[in-house]
Amino acid sequence: MSKVITVWGSPGSGKSMFCCILAKALTRDKRKAIVINAEISVPMLPVWLPEQVIETGASVGQVLSAVEIDTSLVASHVTVLKSYPFIGLMGYSAGENPLSYPELQYGMVLRLISAAAKLVDFVILDCSSNMTNVFTPAAIESGDVIVRILTPDLKGVNYLKAHQPLLGDSRFRYHEHITFAGLARPFHALEEMGHLIGSFDGLLPYGKEIDRCATEGGMFHAINCCNAKYTASLTTVLKALEDPEHTNQSEPAGQPEQEETDADEQSE
């Protein structure tokens, strides 16, 4: 049975990169995954695949604005990685903008997710940080495992405080979300920030090599650059997929280890 993983959180916290790394981890045994992003203000297909020419007809907007959504329509709009055929992508195409399509409908997003889940083993939903984009609340409602990524600073804390009231309905399972500190750096006051939000379940530390993968258009190669803290957080999600009752039993997240910090400095 397929699993849906929802990744949401504050702007600039590394959500899309985490989705790419998670997709590679989940498909190492040749199971299949689809990553879906419906943030039209930053079309993701040309970000994921800068060297591929992708026609507008491949856009997820074509699916979300259709009269009906079924598996055949979704399958025809999945762009498969040429170098790694176990991962498919759905997003907006280069040049598209918020006026390219009618306003998103909540029910259509739910149908898209449901249809995608019938095609592959895993559906990874890369959410907009803007909750008025209905893809985000629909994705949170649909997730079997929900990952919340926040920058461990006042912006991340206040983003969470502002959006928590919008997710009070039980269908969003707010208190079941796995929470990671995204782009964590040694100077972040992780303990203080964790106390303000109710603790982090893991860290996704900033790494120069991961950042370089994003800059050079190689987001799906970044899994090879993850340090021990990042890998531990990734493992937390993998365990949650295997066991829905799983809770992280590791030590509380703290500052990135000094040796990892030194390694990052040396990679400059």
Domain count, the chain: 1
| CATH number of the domain residue 57 falls in | 3.40.50.300
Instruction: Give Cβ neighbours of residue 119 (< 8 Å, ≥ 6 apart).
Output: 32, 34, 71, 74, 75, 78
pLDDT in tens, 54-86: 777 899 999 999 999 999 999 999 999 988 999
Contact by Cβ (8 Å): 137, 131: yes
pLDDT bracket for residue 147 (50, 70, 90): very high
Statement: residue 165 has pLDDT above 90: yes
Contact by Cβ (8 Å): 233, 1: no
In this prediction the pTM is: 0.89
Supply the range of the domain harboring residue 223. Answer: 3-266
Instruction: Give Cβ neighbours of residue 172 (< 8 Å, ≥ 6 apart).
Output: 137, 140, 141
How far, in Å, CA of 91 to CA of 8, rounded? 16
Q: Report the pLDDT value the prediction gives residue 192, as an integer from 0 to 100.
A: 87
Statement: residue 87 has pLDDT above 60: yes
Full DSSP string of 142-173:
H-SEEEEEE-SSHHHHHHHHHHGGGG-SGGG-
Nearest 10 degrees: Cα torsion 124, 129, 131, 135: -30
pLDDT in tens, 222-265: 999 999 999 999 999 999 999 866 544 444 454 444 434 444 44
